[in-house]
Amino acid sequence: MIKSLVRFSLLIWIMILSALPGAAQDSRTLRVGLQALPPTLFNPYRNTGLPYVYTWSAVFDGLTSIDANGTLQPWLATSWERIDPITWVIKLRTDVTFSNGKPMTAQSVVAAIEFLTSDDAKAETVARMLRFINSARAIDTFTVEITTNRPTPLLPRFLPQLYVVEPDHFSSLGLEAFAQDPIATGPFIVEDIRPERMTLRAFKTGWRPPNVERMELLSLPDMSTRTMSIGAGTLDVAVGIGPDEVNAIVADGGNKFSWHDAANWAYHFIDDVHPALADIRVREALNLAVDRQAIIDALLDGATSAATQPAPELVYGFNPDLPPIPYDPDRARALIAEAGYPDGFKMVIEATAGSSANDSAVNLTVAQYLAAIGVEMEIRTVNVNQIIRNVVEGTWDVDAFGLHYNFEPSVEALRALDTNSCLWRYPWYCREEVMPLIAQAEQELDPEKNLKLRQDVMAYYRNDWASLFMYQAPRFAGSIAGVDGVEVVNNFILYDRITLDRR
């Protein structure tokens, strides 16, 4: 009865959604359902993670990209060269225009860097992520020189997040107004912004014009709603669904798309909150108590691999010498008792539902594994916006939370440690003893030593059991039969490659 009521409610919501003003049904409009739309709209510098990058990749481009194998590739930039420890020369494409018709030049990149290094950008996450950039100057029309304030040997890997915006438009409007009326180089132009729906049209003369005339991005936080909307005909693509949902879409004649993020799912322990979690034996016990492979096989369609450390294998700095984490509940119980908790303890976590593949079922299953060693894990379900708000503002009132170690867009091992270390303004995991190693890894110019230092950092996090490490993030999307070319690389949806045929 309850399931029937829920299904009926979802169908009512889908009908209401399709009746909203601007709900396009014509054959030229691609309708994409996402977990959430950015609260900061088209301010591309406020955040670097999911699900907001899904929206921004329709409009913005960075200087470089990282492919599905973790390899650096050209994008708006065609080549790069480090000419001394702190100076880089970058060549740009010569055929790129902004959606208002103005050419993208070296001065456009200079303007973006001048903003990100200014006091006006202090609140922007991307400015913090690129804090090592000191200045930029145009050498000629399509060549820019970037100077860093310390050696940054992997600088090009950070440039996917340096979105280039039209400088005159940005300067005249300011960031807040620009976020409502962006001008950039991506495949779409923003037409209309509403709380749950964004409407865009094709940038036909852009450097990567899309195959569809128009696109709508819709915020549908509930995974079931996104899935059912495909069958109901109110969506063409549903992003961020689980394997069961996508297989149901395929069984109904639709298409399945899947990929892996450069991210590992984990449950993060908040320092100085729960006395049991402060004990390394307890943190190890929690890791030994969970059968990751059983979860992957049963709940994730066998579509990923178990984590051995914060970084998945494709990340530069992944440590291949760290062994798999065994499933050993007997050893886990012994460690819990040795730490002084023979009767177990209770911990409270915050976790999302419907924002990643089968996350609710995974959370409940992990809780069952922990219960078997005497640890009661109470799950408080929150939406992804609340998790991000807690990360940014430090407003936790729990003992732990579920979140990815996210290595995108640079796909190198120190990227996730901007937040998962003492570097963060409101850190939940801070070990001062590893910070000199992180600082050394950031600046080491010798390639072999640079890689080894990053691997040593990954070993430190593993050996300290910094989190309950789970698995590399698998992602699934489903579509109607007439959609093809859904490709997501490094969180970046290549909207220009999607085709739509409603026949």
Q: What CATH number did the domain enclosing 38 receive?
A: 3.40.190.10
Flag whether 441 is in a domain: yes
- 188: pLDDT strictly greater than 90: yes
- pLDDT (mean) for 262-267: 96
Range of the domain at 242: 2-59+186-254+480-500
The model's confidence at residue 25, banded by pLDDT at 50, 70 and 90, is low
CA distance 237 to 254: 10
Strands 488-489 and 492-493: antiparallel
Do 386 and 436 sit in the same domain of this protein? yes
Measured in degrees and rounded to the nearest 5, phi and psi for residue 398 equal -130, 180
pLDDT, residue 15, reads 46
Do 315 and 229 sit in the same domain of this protein? no
pTM of the predicted structure, to 2 decimals: 0.86
H or E element, residue 296 = helix 292-299
Flag whether 272 is in a domain: yes
The model's confidence at residue 78, banded by pLDDT at 50, 70 and 90, is very high
Flag whether 179 is in a domain: no
Flag whether 113 is in a domain: yes
Do 216 and 268 sit in the same domain of this protein? no
Residue by residue, DSSP assigns 217-282 as EEE---HHHHHHHHHHTS-SEEEEE-HHHHHHHHHTT-EEEEEEEEEEEEEEEPTTT-TGGGSHHH
- 28: pLDDT strictly greater than 60: yes
Identify the domain boundary among 141, 173, 205.
173
Do 160 and 191 sit in the same domain of this protein? no
CA distance 120 to 127: 10
Cα dist. 436→410, 423, 439, 440, 443 in Å?
Answer: 21, 11, 5, 6, 11
- 133: pLDDT strictly greater than 80: yes
The 10 Å Cβ neighbour count of residue 164 is 26
pLDDT, residue 17, reads 47
Summarize pLDDT for 400-440 with one digit per residue, the tens: 999 999 998 899 999 999 899 999 989 999 999 999 999 99
Peptide bond into 51 cis (omega under 30): yes
Do 334 and 202 sit in the same domain of this protein? no
What's the CATH code of the domain at 362?
3.10.105.10
Summarize pLDDT for 46-69 with one digit per residue, the tens: 988 888 999 999 999 999 999 999
CA distance 10 to 286: 37
Chain-wide mean pLDDT for the chain? Answer: 92
Question: CB within 8 A of 386, min separation 6: which ones?
Answer: 350
Give the percent of the chain with pLDDT over 90. 84
- pLDDT (mean) for 71-94: 97
Flag whether 443 is in a domain: yes
pLDDT, residue 11, reads 46
- 385 vs 25 pLDDT, higher one: 385
Number of domains in the chain: 3
Do 47 and 30 sit in the same domain of this protein? yes
Identify the domain boundary among 173, 200, 220.
173
The model's confidence at residue 446, banded by pLDDT at 50, 70 and 90, is very high
Summarize pLDDT for 453-487 with one digit per residue, the tens: 999 999 999 999 999 999 999 999 999 999 999 99
Do 301 and 432 sit in the same domain of this protein? yes
Flag whether 286 is in a domain: yes
pLDDT, residue 417, reads 95
What's the CATH code of the domain at 154?
3.90.76.10
Do 8 and 44 sit in the same domain of this protein? yes
Contact 271, 430 (CB under 8 A): yes
Identify the domain boundary among 173, 204, 229.
173
Flag whether 180 is in a domain: no
The model's confidence at residue 26, banded by pLDDT at 50, 70 and 90, is low
Amino acid at residue number 452: K
- pLDDT (mean) for 336-353: 95
pLDDT, residue 177, reads 97
Cβ-based burial of 248 (10 A; exposed 0-12, middle 13-18, buried ≥19): middle
Do 448 and 489 sit in the same domain of this protein? no
H or E element, residue 360 = helix 359-371
Do 288 and 386 sit in the same domain of this protein? yes
Query: How far is Cα of residue 346 from the mean position of the Cα atoms in its chain?
Result: 30
Cα dist. 409→64, 93, 215 in Å?
Answer: 10, 20, 24
Peptide bond into 310 cis (omega under 30): no
Flag whether 303 is in a domain: yes
pLDDT, residue 13, reads 45
CA distance 443 to 154: 9
Do 368 and 346 sit in the same domain of this protein? yes
Least confident of 6-10, 239-243, 259-263: 6-10
Summarize pLDDT for 378-388 with one digit per residue, the tens: 999 998 778 88
The model's confidence at residue 5, banded by pLDDT at 50, 70 and 90, is very low
- 344 vs 28 pLDDT, higher one: 344
Do 273 and 354 sit in the same domain of this protein? yes
pLDDT, residue 385, reads 79
pLDDT, residue 212, reads 97
